[in-house]
Chains A and B, each alone.
Chain A
Amino acid sequence: MLKKITLLAVIVVAARAAYAAPILITACRDVTTQGAYQLANNLNAAGNCLVLKASGVAIDLNGFVIAGNGTGAGITDAGVQRLNVTIRNGAIQQFNTAIDLSHSQVIAIEQVTVTNNHNGIMAGPYATVSDSFIGFNTATGTLLGNFCAVRDNRVNNNSGSVGIDGGDYCSIIGNNASGNQVNVAIAAGRKVLVKQNNASNNAGIGIQVQDGSTVADNVASFDGILGIEGNFNTTIARNTTSFGKKDGIQTGGGSVVYNNTASSNVRIGFFINCPTNLIGNSAHANPTGNFNLVVFGGANCTSYNNF
C-alpha cells in the first residue's frame, strides 16, 4: 500500500515536471530567474509592471493585457543589459513605455499589440519585432538598435517623432506604417533594407534612410512632406510616391534610382543629388518639376528612359 501511494505521488510529480509548464504571472513583479513565464490574467500597474532582472526570459502574455497608468513600463530592463528576451501574444497599453528594453540585446517581440503609450517598443541591437500592432502611441512607435529586423507589423496612427526607427544594418520588410501623425513613418540608419512596406498618408516623411541603403517595392503616397528620402549611395527602386504634399523622392549622390513612380506631388517628383543614375522612372503632374537635378562636385547625373 505504502509503495503504491509513493509510486502514485512520484508519477504525479513526474508528470508535473515533464509538462515543464511556464511559471504563471498573476501580478506585476520582478522576474529574477531565467525561464518561461506566462500571464494568467490581465495585469494592472502603477509604474513599472514586469522588471526583468535576468537574461534568458520568455514571456507569453497569453492573450492578456498589461495596462498602466501612463507612467513606467509594461516590461523593462530598468536600465540594465539583459540578453535573449522574448515577448509574445498579448497587449501592453497606457504606459510611458510599453516595452523598454533599450539597454538589452537579442530581443524578440511577436504578435503583441502596443497602443496608447508614450513610447511603444524600445530595444537594443539584434532585436526582432514581427506580426505586431503598434499604434496610437504619442512619441515613438518602435525604436530599435542596429542589426534589427522589423517584419509584417501594422504601425498606425502614432504621433510624435517616428513610427518605426531602426539603427544601422536593419531589415524593415512588409510593414504597414500608414496614417501616422509623425515626423517620419519609417526611419532607419545606414546600410538598411526597406522593402515592401506601405508608408502612405503620414503627416511627415514616409521613408527616410541613411547611406548605403536599399529602398525597394514600397508605397509612400499621400505623405505630408516627402515620400522617400535616401542619403548617399542608396538604391531606390520600384517604389510609388505619388500625391504627396511636397516631394516624391529625394536622394543623395552616388545612388541609383530606377523604375519608381513619383507623380502628382505638390512640388517635385524627383529631387536628386548628382552623380546619380536615373533609369526608367515616371514623373508626371508635379507642378514645380518632375526631375530636379542638383549637381555637386562637378559631376552630372546619368539619365535613361525617364519620363
Chain B
Amino acid sequence: MEIPGLDDSERRTTLSEVAKNMLKRSVIFAVIALTTRVAWAAPTSITACRNITIPGSYQLANNLQATGNCLLLQSSDVTIDLNGFSIGGNQTGAGITDGGTKRLRIIVRNGTIQLFQTAIDLAHSQIVTIQKTNITNNVNGIMAGDYSGVDTCFVGSNIQGIRLGSSCTATNNRLSKNRDVVISTGNNCIVAGNNGSDNSKALGIRGGTAALVIGNVASSDYAGINVGDGSTVADNTVSDDPLFGIIVNRGSTVARNTATLNGTGANGEGIQVHENSLIWGNTSSQNKFGFTIYCPTLVLGNTSLFNSSSPPFYFANDLACESVNNLPPP
C-alpha cells in the first residue's frame, strides 16, 4: 500500500494501527451482534426453584429439583414456559403453586412436572391455562379454579388427575393410571376430546351442571362419565368400567354414546339417565344392565343388546316415558 509522504517504517506502523483499529471495531461489532442475539431471549430465565413476584414471561433454562414447593407465584399475569424441561419434587409441596392466594391469568406450558404432592396447585386462582405439559407421579395432578383450561396434556400415575372449577375447559388430554379421579370439573364446563382410559380404580369424568361432555374415551376406569343437570353427553365411548358407564342427571341430552362391558362389578348399568331428558342413538351392550331411565324421558332409537341382566330398558319410576324405535322394544 502506497501512503504518500511516509517512509517504510512509518508506513508499517500505520498499517499496523489500521489493522488494530479494524480488529477492535470487528470485536466490538461482534460483541454488539452477539449481545443483540442474547437480548432476543426476552423471557426471564429460571434456573432454580424460586418465588415469582412480578408479572411477566418466564422460561426454564434447565431442569429444576425441589424439596417442597418449587415455583411459588406471588403475582398475577405470569406465563411460565417450561421449555421442555422438568420440575421434579420429593413427593411434598407443589411444582407450581399460588400458595393459597388467588392469582389471575397464569399460563403454564411445554414441560414436565413430577413427584410432588401436587404438580400444579392453582386451586385458589382463576383464568389458569395449562398446555402441553406432562404431569406424572404426583398425589394431585392439576388443580385450578374457575375459568381455567387444560389442553393437550398427559396426566398419568397420579392419585387425582385434573380438578377444575366452573366455566372450564378440559380438551384433548390423555389421562392414564390415575387412581381416584381422572377429570373433575365444576359447572358449565366443556370436556371434549380427552382419552381418560386405563385408570382402573378411578372415577372417570365427573362434571357439574350444564356440562358439555363430547368425544371422550373413558374406558377401563372404575367408573365412566357422571354429570349434573342440564348437560349434554354425546359421542363418547365408555367401556370396561365396573361401577357404571354413564350417569347423567335431569334435563339432559345423552346421544350417540357407546357403552359396553360396564357395571359388571357393582350391578351397574351402561347408561343411566334421570328425569326430563332425551336419550337417543346410544348403544349400550354387554353391560350388567343396559339402560336405567327415570321418567318422564324421551327414549329414541337406542340399542340395548347382550346385557347380562334384564330388562334392556329399565324404567326406574312409575311415571311415563316415551319410547320410540329402540332395539329391542321395551
A interface residues, Cβ below 8 angstroms from B: 1-2, 5-6, 8-9, 12-13, 15-16, 19, 21-22, 24, 38-42, 62-65, 89-91, 93, 113, 115, 131, 133, 135, 152, 154, 156-157, 174, 176, 178-179, 196-198, 200-201, 217-219, 221-222, 238-243, 259-261, 263-264, 280-282, 284-285, 305-307
Quote the shortest CB–CB distance from A117 to chain B (angstroms).
Answer: 13
Q: Mark B242-272, 1 if CB is under 8 A from A, else 0.
A: 0000000011110100000000000000000
Structural contact, B298 and A282, CB atoms closer than 8 A: yes
B interface residues, Cβ below 8 angstroms from A: 19, 22-23, 26, 29-30, 33-34, 36-37, 39-40, 42-43, 55-58, 77, 79, 81, 104-105, 107, 127, 129, 146-147, 149, 151, 166-169, 171, 187-190, 192, 209-212, 214, 229-232, 234, 250-253, 255, 275-278, 280-281, 296-298, 300-301, 322, 324-325
Q: Which of A13, A62, A115, A152 contacts B33 (CB 8 A)?
A: A13
Quote the shortest CB–CB distance from B294 to chain A (angstroms).
Answer: 11
Known: A63-B107, A178-B188. A40 touches B251 (CB 8 A): no
Q: Which of B22, B39, B171, B232 contacts A2 (CB 8 A)?
A: B22
Residues of B close to A2: CB separation below 8 A: 19, 22
Quote the shortest CB–CB distance from A79 to chain B (angstroms).
Answer: 29
The CA of A266 and the CA of B262, in the complex, are separated in Å by 36
Structural contact, B251 and A115, CB atoms closer than 8 A: no
Structural contact, B255 and A133, CB atoms closer than 8 A: no
Structural contact, B253 and A240, CB atoms closer than 8 A: yes
Structural contact, A63 and B57, CB atoms closer than 8 A: yes
Residues of A close to B301: CB separation below 8 A: 280
Structural contact, B39 and A40, CB atoms closer than 8 A: yes
Structural contact, A90 and B250, CB atoms closer than 8 A: no
21 A-B contacts (beta carbon < 8 Å): A9-B26, A9-B29, A16-B37, A40-B39, A63-B56, A64-B56, A152-B151, A156-B147, A157-B147, A176-B167, A178-B167, A201-B188, A221-B231, A239-B253, A242-B229, A242-B276, A261-B252, A261-B277, A282-B278, A305-B322, A306-B298
Structural contact, B322 and A307, CB atoms closer than 8 A: yes
Q: A90-B79, A240-B253, A281-B298 are in contact. List 19 more A-B contacts (CB 8 A).
A: A2-B19, A5-B22, A12-B30, A15-B37, A38-B40, A63-B81, A64-B42, A113-B107, A115-B104, A178-B210, A201-B187, A238-B232, A238-B253, A240-B251, A242-B252, A259-B278, A263-B277, A280-B278, A307-B296
